[in-house]
A = this chain, B = another copy of it.
Amino acid sequence: MIVRPMQSWFRMLFIWNGSVLQTIIPQLILLGLLSTLAVFTHGTVFGEKIPLSPASFTLFGLTLAVFLVFRNNASYARFIEARTAWGNFLIAARALTSQILSYVPGRENRELKLLLANEIIAAAYALKHQLRGSDATEDLKRILGPQRARAIQDKAYVPVYLLKDVRNRLAHLCQTADHGSIRWMLDTQINEMEKCIGACERIKSTPIPFAYSVLLHRSVYAYCLFLPFGLVDSSEYLTPVLCVFISYTLIALEAIANEVADPFGVAPNALPLDAIARTIERSVLELCDEDIPAELEPGSSYQLT
């Protein structure tokens, strides 16, 4: 995620970091060259005039807009749902910790308290690594110790397995009938965390149907490719400027939508899972009255991962 203080309206026009401009420079240069060529040849190819009226573009623009809107909305909905799932994980992790500290027999025992808190934190980190396809070993070792980390790191669904363990421990602590309602209260929060995990797995494993991406991609590029020949008669030497700018908006929107649709990636516009996992760690530890690590800060290119 890009974290930048709001710029003045003027400086905002010339920002480089955080716009997606970097990733689409090659295509824009190609289109710039093509349209410059079109200006010099007055829109002819091999001496033959390319007959494209602006009206055709209006027709075509219609379906293009339909695709762009759909694709962008669907992508952003994924982003928001993923963010909400992580937000709910934080909420449930806090609630569970706070409930343990208020209700569970043996809650005065600092070791037990920390053991449970760490398993909750470890589940958050394990989820992050599972979603990004990265290796969770380091984080698990740091939080749970090397022995426990080794025991679970080969599981296919590590976060769920960790939560099963939390549930098991708590069931042990609250096994009398008198603790029935406490057990259930705690179970509800564990279940809440499992829902977040399940939601993230679902988003990860089911992208927007591939055919939509192909169709939008082709429409965008076909549109950009034809554009110089449609504009050259009326816009003359301004054609390259207009073409590159319009192409920029279209290709950039597709690029942003791509990044946002894969919210667990590490692209500049994906979710800052590192920072979110850290917040979960901080908040759970603070509730336990432990020292808390510092918040993550955006790096030099204003990116928070």
Contact = CB atoms under 8 A, between A and B. Distances in A.
Contacts of A221: 9, 13
Nearest to A223: B59
A210 B2 contact: yes
A52 to B, nearest CB: 6
Interface of A: 1-4, 6, 9, 12-13, 15, 18-20, 27, 50-70, 72-74, 76, 79, 83-84, 87-88, 90-91, 94-95, 98-99, 101-103, 155-157, 160-161, 163-164, 167-168, 171, 177-185, 187, 191, 194-195, 197-199, 201-202, 205-206, 209-215, 217-219, 221-222, 227, 231, 234-238, 242, 245-246, 249-250, 252-253, 256, 258-260, 268-269, 271, 279, 282-283, 286-287, 292, 302
* 8 closest cross-chain pairs (CB), A and B: A91-B198, A2-B210, A87-B202, A54-B55, A180-B181, A177-B178, A102-B171, A53-B234
Majority-rule SS of A interface residues: helix
Nearest to A177: B178
Given A51-B236, A103-B183, A209-B79, A282 B156 contact: yes
Contact of A101 (B99, B164, B258, B292): B164
B183 A180 contact: no
A232 to B, nearest CB: 10
Contact of A209 (B51, B103, B269): B269
